[in-house]
Amino acid sequence: MEGAREAFEAELHLLHAQGRLREVATRVLGEYGGEVLGFLANVTGSRDEASVVFSQVCEDLWVGLPAFRFGCSLRTWMYTLARNATHRARLEPFGRKRVAISDHPELLEVEARVRTTTLTYLRSETKDRVRRLREELEPDDRTILVLRIDRDMSWNEVAAIMLGDRVEDEATRTQHAAWLRKRFERIKERLRAMLAREEAARRA
Amino acid sequence: MTGEARSSGSDESFEQLLREVARAPSIDPDEALVAQVDLVGRTLAHFRVVERIGAGGMGVVYRAIDEKLQRPVALKVLSPRAVRDREARELLLREARSAAAVNHPNIAAVYEVGEAGEAGETGETGNVSFIAMELVEGTTLRAQSKNGPIAPDALLHFATEIARGLARAHKQGIVHRDLKPDNVMTSGDGQVKILDFGLAKAVTSGETSSGQVAGTPAYMSPEQAMGAAVDARSDVFSFGVMLVELATGTLPEGVRKRAPAEIAARAPMPFAPIVARCLQHEPADRFADGDELLAALRAAMPSAGETKPAPTRRKGRVFPLVVAAGAAVVVTATVAIGVSSRRARDVHDPRLPASSAPPPVVTKPTPTLRRLTANIPADPIAHAALSPDGKSLAWSDATGLYVQTLGAPAPRAIELPSGGPSAVVAWTPSGKRLYASSTDALIEVDLATMATTEIAKGRFSGLAVAGDGKHIAFADTDRVGYLSLESPRDAHPLVQKKDGCFISEVAWSPDGGRIAYVSHCFDSLAATAIESVDLDGHAPQLALADPRLWNDSGYGGLVWTKAGELVYPLAEWLPAEPGSNLHALHVDPKTGAAIGSARQLTHLVGVNASRLSTDAEATRIAFVRFEVQTDVYLGALEDGGRRLHPPTRLTLTDRNERPSTFSRDGADVLFFTDRNGSFDLYAQAIAGGPARPLVATPAWETMSQLGPDGASLLFWQFPAVAAGEAVKPTLMRAHLDGTGNAPLLTTLGFSHPAGAGRPQPWEMRFRCPRAKDASCLLSERDGDALVFTALDPFTGRGKERFRFAHATAAQNLWDLSPDGRRLALPSANGPITVRTLEGGASFEVSLPSGCDPLVPTFASDGAGLFVSAECQDEAFRLYAIRFGEKPTLLWEDPPRLLLETEASPDGKQLAIAVKTSDDDVWMLQDW
């Protein structure tokens, strides 16, 4: 799996170097769109909101691709975009107009296909209790849980995503990764506390 | 599931809940389209679908029953990604049918291809394309390789079986196009089956409009990656990649860019030479097809007559520093049973299953490297020699001359009568005496008494004692010759060194009739050669001319073995990992002429070898392994540029980085680096923080300058080529942030790409002034002449300004003043000429006696120079020369080599390229 992903990333790096950006965007969306949308659905707690944010991610992908320097993998970058877009969506609740990729029907087609199939697949899979716990957590906490536990990313990858485009230097990332580990422990403590509360309420 | 999640608490239900909270399901949209239609229990054509057994890029695979023939099959239902339109679907089915024609036990049979609605109907599932294939029980090689490297004996079996399948398919004109461990199944009894033959082309050919090519990039041959036509040799390449991956447990990187030998070196014997040939970039240099590949693998397999009882099954090994000799190493032993069964399978009925597990193979001891000294970088090994019995080492470094029995706890120091460091050392054939050079004399050392005697005067750079023990060949500052130990003060010079060259190594022919030597020519790399001369002083005979005899240590290495072979190191040039490897060439001891072509003895990666010596039988080779690294340092200038605060390191990788210029605001140093494998342009803020890439492509970008307009970034770009190929660099222009690259001109001359730390073109240079109204200047070689033309960042090469008819190599490293009005032109052993471009007036400035300039750079006010220099005491120093004043020493930091400098626009900072080396003696055994 890792080998296949590395090979995929290497191929797209090559296409990127050749300036075949539309192809890169299409294939990145096809490959990672589903998992990023699944991630968004978890973090936003809403399929509709995830769908809107996903559009923003697609746009950001398209706009940012020419300047992307492969300082991280495209997959990590997609999650960075997704995390940033989620953040922006919270700050700008009325959203922004989508423009960039509408000129490229094949990109829109992939985006639509990802959205339709993934969201259909996601329907009715979340249990109420789990949803409640998720809603109690901060979006960033949810982000950390998904990336670390479900997506099995290294702490440095999680740090890269959480820091976004702000920091390129490895030392800062490593430092942030150490901080994230502590935060991860605190999230778990919070969840335990929530569960204890639930349990107490149920007994009462 | 991460370790932390598992270990964070004892409550398993909490862990489960945590996983659910973190769960963010995703699905491959293409797969979803197929997955949504659950085919289990339904029938496609005459195939009853029993269960889903996997999914991949092509679609979902089911176990099904062929109801006509009542046999199990693997039914591959193709995903929409694989067959996007009718044309693609038809092509896929056609290809699959053609692959179905290949009937071989090592290829999973394709039974049927077609399209069907459910149970012959259409509508409910729509038409689905499928391929019914032989159901192979077992695991893929991918799954097996997850446990680490596959043991060489098992791998040899797998490789042979795969090659057998390839041979059959290739014979029928079928190319796999996507050979990788995922597409090879193995069963518990050692049976090997290649899956999906020929399908890759069909699966992606429907998408050729988007330029996508069939196959998996990591395994693709260069021609396949480029989308060119492929044949059987492309499968051979993929086979090589797969073999390295399985042998080492990791997928090799850069297979289409790096030297095949370098990648092959990671694979253990007997695979390395086979892999090296498979991975050749030119298809014509590979095995022609599976048949040739199979023959090579069979040759690597032991023969039935060379058997040994009770073999031990060896575990797979990854050699961190693998040495794989070529023809010198042969596999000599194996197990009779294994060979018989394998041979039997060559002719067995293909319809019968394989009868036994892969047999183990025992190979000869692998060549090994042993480290013999452990000097610190500040005290590099100057020279070393292995004793004739291979049990002792003599070496010299800055602290003296030593001899040590290998394995003994401490060396014995040898006091030289005249003091000073020793340059070179040589043993007598008996091993009882040593000859060593001191600063200005040749010293004989009696190892029994440790007594030393000066026997001749001179500065020697090469010594070798003849087989008769009565003569010593030498190279000194001017010549090659020999002296008789009976009258050592009477030297017999044989060859005078050529201008622009020096001689550092000498070796006697086995019969003692000739002396071979390496002539390193810094004026013309191409003239660097191994020659030999007879004792009568006839004209030298060329044995080998190869610019790769140059390396970054400034030393070569030369041994003439009893078997008549000259052994010498050749540098590995970028884009291969910088280093060198040993080669051997038969040379006629009578005439000195080469016989046949050279063979490569080692496949070292990232190891530089120089200063060779062997034991008497040449079964062990000692060499000085050196590592070089160039970094950008930065120091604050004071007192108008006459003093420099001790510089500190600015760039912080372990790769090679060299400064090119400062940004206009002086906040960044622009430098080039091989941190990504090829040279790229980066900017480093002098305030610290991470370096920013400016131009980073697979080609090499080096030596940038800012255009006088302040808005252009100019730099050399070398195309990415195979190691050792001559290249024609292009001068590129980009925006300041590195975007918008465009070629400006291609240089007239050719340049050989050099090793790490020396990527600059030797035959052309350009420099740009800061003054807006001045123009950049470009110099190029035209034969012996150095031609200067104006250079415009937008129109390229302008009018010729002037030329030097007979320019030396030293003159290539000129500089242009910030106002664009003056040129500083160094000379090899003399002053630096500062020439006013308009009017031609000039004056000279000189360094202190005994120091020769390397690279001059104008101070930012144009009123002085910073000059790196190499001095006769072998120190490298940095001087400031204010015009009209005496030079002042800015910095020396022995033994580090100081190269080019760049002054910041405000004159407050100086960036310096600093090269460090670390030399130690290593020994190669059983090569």
Residue B326 and residue B467 in one domain: no
* Whether pLDDT at B830 is above 60: yes
In this structure, the answer to whether residues B622 and B661 fall within a common structural domain is no
Q: How far is CA B242 from CA A14, A89, A119, B271, B279, in A?
A: 21, 46, 38, 11, 11
> Does residue B426 contact residue B465 with C-beta atoms inside 8 Å?
yes
B299: alpha, beta or left? (left if phi > 0; alpha if psi -120 to 50): alpha
d(CA B656, CA B315): 37
Digit-coded pLDDT (tens) for B163-215:
999 998 888 888 888 899 988 988 766 788 998 776 655 444 333 333 344 56
Q: What pLDDT is attached to residue A154?
A: 87
Give the pLDDT confidence of B99-122 residue by residue, as tens digits: 676 778 888 888 887 777 644 333
Share of chain A above pLDDT 90, in %: 2
pLDDT band of residue A139 (cuts 50, 70, 90) is confident
* pLDDT band of B763, cuts 50, 70, 90: low
Angle at B830 between CA B827 and CA B834, to 5 degrees: 60
| Residue B109: predicted pLDDT | 82
Over range B800-810, report the average pLDDT: 81
Task: State which amino acid sits at residue B886.
Answer: K
Residue spans of beta strands (DSSP E) within B579-640: 579-587, 594-600, 608-614, 620-638
Query: Measured between alpha carbons, how far is residue B60 from residues A118, A197, B80, B450, B728 in Å?
Result: 18, 45, 11, 79, 50
**Residue B682 to chain A, least CA–CA distance (Å):** 12
Q: What is the pLDDT of residue B753?
A: 47
Question: Which of B299, B327, B362 is the last residue in one of the domains?
Answer: B362
**Least Cα separation, residue B238 to chain A (angstroms):** 13
At residue B685, the pLDDT reads: 92
Select which of B66, B153, B178, B631 is catalytic.
B178
Residue B438's pLDDT band, with cuts at 50, 70 and 90, is: confident
Q: In terms of pLDDT, which residue wins out, B81 or A39?
A: A39
Mark out the alpha helices in B226-288 (DSSP H runs): 232-248, 260-264, 271-278
Task: For residue B367, tell me if it sits in a domain.
Answer: no
Predicted pLDDT at B483: 93
B353 part of a folded domain: yes
Task: Please tell me the predicted confidence (pLDDT) of residue B625.
Answer: 86
| Arithmetic mean of pLDDT over chain A | 78
Other residues' Cβ atoms within 10 Å of the Cβ of residue B527: 15
Query: Which of B608, B626, B644 lies at the terminal end of a domain, its last residue?
Result: B626
Q: How far is Cα B308 from Cα B311, in angstroms, rounded to an integer?
A: 7
Residue B283's domain comprises: 139-362
Name the CA dihedral angle for A170, A171, A177, A180, rounded to a multiple of 10 degrees: -130
Going along B389-440, which residue ranges are E strands?
392-397, 400-405, 412-414, 425-427, 433-437
Name which of A159-163, B575-579, B842-846 the model is least confident about: B575-579
Q: What pLDDT was estimated at residue B767?
A: 96
- Look over chain B and give the mean of its residue pLDDT values, rounded to a whole number: 79
Query: Quick one: B346 and B433 in the same domain?
Result: no
How many domains does chain B divide into?
4
Choose among B328, B755, B258, B326: nearest CA to B549. Answer: B755
Is any Cβ of chain B less than 8 angstroms from the Cβ of A195?
yes
Question: Least CB-CB distance to B33: which of A41, A117, A146?
Answer: A117
Cβ of A114 under 8 Å from any chain B Cβ?
Answer: yes
DSSP string, B802-832: EEETT--GGGGG-EE-TTS-EEEE--SSSPE
Whether residue B842 sits in one domain with residue B879: yes
DSSP collapsed to 3 states, A27-77: HHHHHHHHHHHHHHHHHHCCHHHHHHHHHHHHHHHHHHHHHCCCCCCHHHH
Closest C-alpha among B545, B540, B580, B584 to residue B566: B584
Q: How many angstroms separate the first and last alpha carbons of chain B? A: 46
Q: Which of B170, B141, B155 is nearest to B292 (CA)?
A: B170
Question: Which pLDDT score, from 0 to 100, does residue B882 have?
Answer: 96
Condensed to tens digits (0 to 9), the pLDDT of residues A35-55 reads 898 888 888 877 777 877 888
Question: What is the β-pairing status of strands B608-614 and B479-484?
Answer: unpaired
CA-nearest residue to A123 within chain B is: B25
pLDDT band at B522 (very low <50, low <70, confident <90, very high): low
Cβ of residue A180 closer than 8 Å to a chain B Cβ: no
Classify burial at B632, counting beta carbons within 10 Å of its beta carbon; exposed 0-12, middle 13-18, buried 19 or more.
Answer: buried
Query: Are both B671 and B596 inside the same structural domain?
Result: no
B370, part of any domain: no
* Type of residue numbered B696: A
Task: Place B319 in a pLDDT band, splitting at 50, 70 and 90.
Answer: very low
Decide if pLDDT at B476 tops 60.
yes
- State yes or no: pLDDT of B760 exceeds 70: no
Q: Is the pLDDT of residue B544 over 80?
A: yes
3-state helix, strand, coil in chain B (%, to 5): 15, 40, 45
Q: Where are the alpha helices (DSSP H) in B540-601?
A: none
Is B102 found in the same domain as B147?
no
Q: What is the pLDDT of residue B859?
A: 97
Closest listed residue to residue B375, CA positions, set B351, B359, B399: B399
Q: Among A173-177, A193-197, B87-91, B887-891, where is mean pLDDT lowest?
A: B87-91
Q: Which of A137-141, B207-211, B393-397, B512-516 has the highest mean pLDDT?
A: B512-516
- What pLDDT was estimated at residue B749? 56
Q: Determine the pLDDT at residue B88.
A: 59
Same domain, B738 and B864: yes
Whether B709 is a known active-site residue: answer no
- pLDDT (0 to 100) of residue B589: 92
Strands in B56-160 per DSSP E: 59-66, 71-78, 110-116, 128-134, 139-140
Which CATH number fits the domain that encloses residue B246?
1.10.510.10
Domain extents in chain A: 1-125, 127-204
Residues B547 and B651 grouped into a single domain: no
Closest CB to A6: pick one of B29, B212, B218: B218
Distance CA B496, CA B261 (A): 37
For residue B692, the chain A residue with the least C-alpha distance is: A168
DSSP reduced 3-state for A203: helix
Interchain pair B8, A168: CB under 8 A: no
Q: Per-residue pLDDT for B575 more than 90? A: no
DSSP code for B177: S
pLDDT at residue A63 in the model: 80
Question: Phi-psi category of B56—alpha, beta or left, where left has phi over 0 and alpha has psi -120 to 50?
Answer: beta
* Residue reference for tokens 């997928």: B251
How far, CA to CA in Å, does A149 sit from each of A101, A121, A140, B1? Answer: 32, 21, 14, 6
Interatomic CA distance for residues B209 and A20, integer angstroms:
12
| Residue B382: pLDDT band with limits 50, 70, 90 | confident
Average pLDDT over residues B368-376: 81
Looking at residue B336, its pLDDT comes to 20
pLDDT value for B887: 95
> CB–CB of B801/B778 below 8 Å?
no
Instruction: Output the six-digit token pair for B854.
Output: 């390397």
Residues B115 and B202 both lie in one domain: no
pLDDT, one tens digit per residue, over B289-298 is 999 999 888 8
What is the mean predicted confidence (pLDDT) over A91-107?
Answer: 52
The CA distance from B863 to the nearest CA of chain A, in Å, is 39
Question: By the 8 A CB rule, do B796 and B731 touch?
Answer: yes
Same domain, B655 and B698: yes
Band of the pLDDT at B785, cuts 50, 70, 90? confident
Chosen from B11, B26, B58, B179 to mutate, greatest number of chain A CBs within 10 A: B26
The answer to whether residues B276 and B357 belong to one domain is: yes
Distance CA B901, CA A67 (A): 31
Q: What are residue B186's DSSP bridge partners?
A: B139, B192
Q: At what angle do helices A128-136 and A170-203 cross, to 10 degrees?
A: 130
Q: What would the mean pLDDT of A56-63 be, rounded to a whole number?
A: 83
| Predicted ipTM of the assembly | 0.79
Bridge partner residues of B386 (DSSP) = B393
Compute the average pLDDT of residues B628-654.
89
B374: in domain = no
Question: What CATH number should be reported for the domain holding residue B507?
Answer: 2.130.10.10
Q: In this structure, what CATH number is given to the domain that contains residue B131? A: 3.30.200.20
Asked if the model's pLDDT at residue A169 lies above 90, the reply is no
Judge whether A152 is closer than 8 Å to chain B, CB to CB. yes
- Predicted confidence band at B363 (pLDDT cuts at 50, 70, 90)? very low
Distance of CA B94 to the CA centre of its chain: 42
Kindly report whether the peptide bond that precedes residue B575 is cis, defined as omega within 30 degrees of 0: yes
Phi and psi dihedrals of A182, rounded to 5?
-65, -40
- Residue B405 and residue B467 in one domain: yes
Domain boundary among B135, B168, B196: B135
Taken in order B204, B207, B208, B210, the sign of the CA dihedral is negative
Please state the separation of Cα B125 from the chain's center in Å: 53
Q: Which two tokens stand for residue B135?
A: 């159901």
A39: nearest CA in chain B?
B24
What does the pLDDT average to over B636-642? 94
Top residue of A5, A117, A168 to mutate, by most chain B CBs within 10 Å, is: A117
Give the model's pLDDT for residue B908.
Answer: 95
pLDDT digits (tens, 9 = 90+) for B124-178: 345 677 888 888 878 888 888 877 888 888 888 899 999 999 998 888 888 888 8
Minimum Cα–Cα distance from B697: chain A residue: A17
Say which residue the tokens 């392994």 belong to: B625
What letter does residue B293 receive in the DSSP assignment? Answer: H
Return the half-sphere exposure (C-beta side, CA atoms, 13 A cut-off) of residue B172.
17
Percent of chain B at pLDDT exceeding 70: 79
pLDDT at B543 over 70: yes
DSSP B439: S
The string of DSSP letters for B846-867 reads -PSTTEEEEEEEE-TTSSEEEE
Identify the helix (H) or strand (E) that includes residue B339: helix B336-347
Confidence class for position A131, pLDDT limits 50, 70, 90: confident
A38 and chain B: CB distance < 8 Å anywhere? yes
Instruction: Please give the residue that has the higher pLDDT: either B23 or B261.
Output: B261
- B204 or A75, greater pLDDT: A75
Selected residue with higher pLDDT from A201 and B11: A201
Q: Which residues of A touch B14 (CB under 8 A)?
A: 191-192, 195
Q: What is the DSSP string of B901-919?
A: EEE-TTSSEEEEEEEEEEE
Evaluate whether residue B618 is within a structural domain.
Answer: yes
Region label for B503, one of left (φ > 0), alpha (ψ between -120 and 50) or beta (otherwise): beta
Report whether B78 contacts B130 (CB < 8 A). yes
Amino acid at B303: S
Give tens-digit pLDDT for B678-722: 789 999 999 888 889 999 887 888 889 999 988 899 999 877 655
